[in-house]
A and B are shown apart, each in its own frame.
Chain A
Amino acid sequence: MGADVRLLDAPFVAEAEIGAFARAQGAAGGVVSFLGQVRVDAGAGKAVVEALELRHYPPLTLPGMRALAGEALARWQLTGLMILHRTGEMLPGDPIVLVCAAARHRRDAFAAADFAMDHLKSESWFWKREKVGGQWRWIEPRPEDHADLSRWQGA
């Protein structure tokens, strides 16, 4: 079973993608999905985000996402896996990333989706910047992102 891994440079409709994925998973007892979307503000009580842009490096980004999907498939008993990630400029509320994992039993699906998200956040080849007050600024990774990733090492 191969994974559906896509890098998208135009908006996608998350509900339609989740629905199509779930319908194709006849053997699964459970489907877990995670949708990441553009925040409206840069933090509680902080400035309004006007836009968000994700840059990538084509020689590494999609191959890296495929390798990540392969790792998840090898690690858990899944009937299906989908990883969609946007690039380019997005507006508040736009979907950025969608991970769907399907398995006969829910624990495998939860864990695989969690694993994929932690690795997309801090190990995949994306660079994010947001526009606040008409100015673009690059988003640095948060220490929590690396702590999240370390949960999977040696496990």
Chain B
Amino acid sequence: MVVKLVFLGRLEDLAGVGEMAVPLDGGQRLADVLAGLPGPLADALRGPKVKLALNGALLSPGADPALADGDELAFLPPVSGG
């Protein structure tokens, strides 16, 4: 199965891409995906100010959902609009 990671704001610069498709065997959770990424990127994504959305719905802090094929996981750093 494949999940899509989306990096917003400065996280895109850190990841070097805005989106990344991650192939998985199945049965993995969010924490497993993070563990498979380069250390500095994974650390930034785990940062206390980074919010996460799974398929467009915000996750509560510390959530570690199981992932399914086609899921989209977005990493949202502090916003700056207006």
Contact = CB atoms under 8 A, between A and B. Distances in A.
Q: Do chains A and B stick together as partners?
A: yes
Interface of A: 36, 54-55, 57, 59-60, 85, 96-97, 117, 120-129, 138-141, 145
Given A121-B82, A125-B81, A128-B80, 16 more contacts: A54-B81, A55-B8, A57-B6, A97-B82, A121-B81, A122-B79, A123-B79, A124-B81, A124-B82, A125-B76, A127-B8, A127-B80, A128-B81, A139-B80, A141-B79, A141-B80
A57 B76 contact: yes
Contacts of B81: 54, 85, 97, 120-122, 124-128
Interface of B: 6, 8-10, 13, 53, 55-56, 58, 72, 74, 76-82
Contacts of A145: 80
Main SS of chain A's interface residues? Answer: mixed
